A and B are shown apart, each in its own frame.
Chain A
Amino acid sequence: MATVLAPLAGEIAPLDAVADDVFAQRIMGDGVALHPHDARATAPLDGVIAKLFPGGHAFVVQSDEGVDVLVHLGLDTVHRAGAGFTTHVEEGERIAAGEVVVTVDLETLRADGVDVTTPVVVISDHAIAWRAEGAVEGGAPLLALRV
């Protein structure tokens, strides 16, 4: 089993409720969505920053076991071109679960009308054996995967 920690504190919602078909239809994989309370997005597991997208609106952490987790900070945030996001690591860096990857200016994003719903998606096809429900603290267990 591998545990995926919540990258942000927030309310957990099913992916079906996400206003983006790629996530809602689980085309990239299964997971959950977070309605974030917290501005610091942390690594959901120990591993390497396999992808840090330009502007910092999304990242992928890959564990040594080959689990890939995508954290997409808000919907359609590619159009922000980085505005509202501050990155703290580089692509390819090793990272421990709970370390800060990106800081998000939630107030600015919300003020600009951005849907800050954050899909957390297992893109490596590992089955989810358990998922947290309700509210979650940042760094608390969010998903358990069969590895």
Chain B
Amino acid sequence: MSSFADIATQVIKGLGGAENIKDLEPCVTRLRVELHDAKKLDEATLRSAGAHGVMKMGTVVQVVMGTQSDNIEQAMREQMG
């Protein structure tokens, strides 16, 4: 199994890179992310990182990572600086 850090790296990539992430919020089952540019979203990369689903509403995207979402969010923050 991949570490949270590995998953976080992949998720950040799938979201179009750290600079594309405007806001990040963990929920029980998902990451809610606000993007600067929704076109940079790469759903295939997110799915390969383990996303059960990806839901888009304009620039807000919900990446369903399961109940480890909060751990992944923490690892993402560490990498995003």
**Chain A residues in contact with chain B, CB under 8 A?**
21-22, 25, 27-28, 50-51, 53-54, 57-58, 60, 68, 70, 72, 78, 123
Q: Quick check: is B45 within 8 A (CB to CB) of the other chain?
A: no
Contact A21 B55 (CB under 8 A): yes
Distance to closest chain B CB from A102 (angstroms): 13
Q: Which residues of B contact A (CB under 8 A)?
A: 25-30, 52-53, 55, 62, 64, 66-67, 70
Contact yes or no, A22 B67, CB < 8 A: no
Q: Other than the known A22-B53, A25-B53, A28-B66, what 13 A-B pairs have Cβ atoms closer than 8 Å?
A: A22-B30, A22-B62, A27-B29, A27-B64, A28-B29, A53-B70, A54-B70, A58-B28, A70-B28, A72-B28, A78-B26, A78-B28, A123-B67
B27 adjacent to A78 (CB under 8 Å): yes
B residues within 8 A CB of A50? 67
Picked from B27, B55, B62, B67, the residue with its CB within 8 Å of the CB of A51 is B67
Give min CB distance, A67 to chain B, whole Å. Answer: 14
A70 touches B29 (CB 8 A): yes
Contact A123-B66, Cβ < 8 Å, known A22-B53, A22-B55, A27-B52: yes
User: Which residues of B sit under 8 angstroms from A53, Cβ to Cβ?
Assistant: 28, 70
Q: How far is the CA of A21 from the CA of B67 in the complex (A)?
A: 16
B25, B27, B55, B64: most-surrounded residue (chain A CB, <10 A): B27
Q: Which 8 A-B pairs have the closest CB atoms?
A: A27-B53, A58-B28, A78-B27, A27-B64, A27-B52, A28-B29, A51-B67, A53-B28
CA distance A58 to B30 in the complex (A): 13
Q: Shortest CB–CB separation between residue B39 and chain A, in angstroms?
A: 22
What's the Cα separation between A25 and B66 when bound, in Å? 14
User: Which of B26, B29, B70 neighbours the largest number of chain A CB atoms within 10 Å of its CB?
Assistant: B29
**Nearest B-chain residue to A121, judged by Cβ:** B29
Give bound CA distance, A51 to B71, whole Å.
11
- Residues of chain B within 8 A (CB-CB) of A51 are 28, 67
**A50→B62 CA distance, assembly (Å):** 23
